[in-house]
Amino acid sequence: MDNLPKLLADIGDPETRVRLVAQGKNLWRVRMLFPRQRAHEIPEQLRQIKIDLAHAFGVADHRLEYHQLLSKRTTRNGILVEMHIRRQEAPAGPMRVRFLPQSADDGTTYSDMTVVADLYPVDDYEKALTFESVEARIRSEGVDGSLVSWGLVRESVQNCLEEQRPLLECVLAEGELPDVGPASRLLYRWFPQSDSGFPTAWLGLRTAEQGEELLEHQPPSSGLRSGKNVFGRELSPRRGMQTRLIAGKGVVVGPGERKVVATEAGVIFFRREFADRRQKDTPCTTPHILHAEVRRVRTVQAEAAVQSNWDEPLLVLGTLPKGSSLSVASDCILKGSVPAGCQLQVTGNLRITGDVSNATLGVTGHLCVHGKLSDAVCEVGLTAQFLGSVTDSACYAREILADEIVGGTAEAYHQFSNKHEVVAFNREKFLAEHRKAGEDALFTLRRQMIRLYEIFGPEIVQQVKEDSVQMNLLRWLKQQKTLGIGGYTHSQVQEFRTLLEILPDLRREISLVAEGLRDAKAENTDLFER
């Protein structure tokens, strides 16, 4: 004990004397003498003394704590304080290694793509953590050494020892995802191609003749670079997303799903579905499924159209009378202009081939205007595309596509192709839409999952993976036979197999949507607080 006062000579403030009176394994008795004139600084000095003691005895600061005040009295030389300081045990535990999956851009999930570990300063046998022990464990697991961030491993071990705290979920190695090739490319046709409306062919909602080609489909191609998981197993490049073409009434899909051709004259209708259920219809993203059909619609002259409310797709010929109103609870094509004072309310999509001047347009779906837009007000639920100039108008849409915007107000709440300084981004509305879409998608996905629970039971629903569909299907069929419910036909068994195959994707999509929903709510909270 004679060397202890010398060991603590430099502890704390120069005017403060610190002496170690007694020392156990994890409990120290310390006596401290503070100058009376600096009594108000004692709390701060106690904090500094604890830091200095931790440094002197080679332990982390957070592992020391003042445990008990034994005495405090005023003497001739100052204020004498005697306390117990307790050293907390270092967190101990074995190194735990886990292998996590990663998802590629096309949504494909690859297992064993990330190595994460929980590191502890000492193990259960009080053996200190070392870089060599971590390296040996990683190599014993069969991890490809070229994928390990050895510098990061060494730094993590050092931090764990210095701070005397466990490091959880420490990423030690990451695999390489394979390239995903370009997705399908859809080339929407418009005849003649010299027509000014050609850039809006994606909308459909135009007249087509029998035998006219409506769409060309260029299949996806494969990626170039292979990937590998953390064990070094090669992962082949993947083809981009394939768009399925579904032919409805009045159209036919050619061999190899390369072309969509009209089999009768009428108006084209396109409907797009996306792999992400939260995705709204947009011309800027390749759909997962494209429905196409051609059908005849009611055709009326402009003067007659404004005299009634319509609940079916409508083709209006001619310019609307000034100051008139048109209400259509479906899609509408107006082959003419919209003069001053007019009001249009369309529940579906709207195409206007002429100009719009000093009018009000309310569209739930998409809006395409071929001519000029001036002194107008447009409120559009999805995409607003203007081929002519937009002058002194107020335009509000999910995304705005225009080559020339002069004056007025333009506000979008999603990314848009043509970026103009006058187009403002409504972040609050974007977050609100993102949250609502996530809630709707989550409700639909959970309803589907409940239905699968009712069919297969919770055990199979929770355990089935991409590579265990057949095994779980056979196990379920055997259970059904035991219960006396067997006798399924071959087609019914194939339907059950299809349901089991989509289960892993459903679970994954629920997780992604829920995570996105949490992020949207957090961003919305931050925006509100700001």
Closest by CA to 31, choosing from 44, 51, 12, is: 12
* 267 contacts 297 by C-beta, under 8 angstroms: yes
Place 522 in a pLDDT band, splitting at 50, 70 and 90: low
How much is the average pLDDT of 156-177?
A: 88
63: left (phi over 0), alpha (psi -120 to 50) or beta: alpha
Q: Is the pLDDT of residue 488 over 60?
A: yes
pLDDT digits (tens, 9 = 90+) for 413-452: 775 544 556 676 666 666 666 677 667 777 777 787 888 8
Mean residue pLDDT across the chain: 84
Total number of residues shown for the chain = 530
Which SS3 state, helix, strand or coil, does residue 184 take?
coil
Q: Give the pLDDT of residue 527.
A: 44
- Residue of higher predicted confidence among 1 and 410: 410
- What are the φ/ψ torsions at residue 287 (nearest 5 degrees)? -80, 160
Q: Which of 47-61, 266-280, 361-375 has the highest mean pLDDT?
A: 361-375
Q: pLDDT-derived band of residue 200, with 50, 70 and 90 as boundaries? A: very high
Burial code (b: 16+ CB inside 10 Å, e: under 16) for 323-359 equals ebebbbbbbbbbbbbbbeebbbbbbbbbbbbbbbbbb
Q: What local confidence, expressed as pLDDT, does residue 2 receive?
A: 40
Highest mean pLDDT among 10-14, 105-109, 272-276: 272-276
CA distances from 114 to 52, 74, 177, 230 (A): 40, 61, 11, 7
Using DSSP's 3-state secondary structure scheme, residue 118 falls into: strand
Count of Cβ atoms closer than 10 Å to residue 528 Cβ: 9
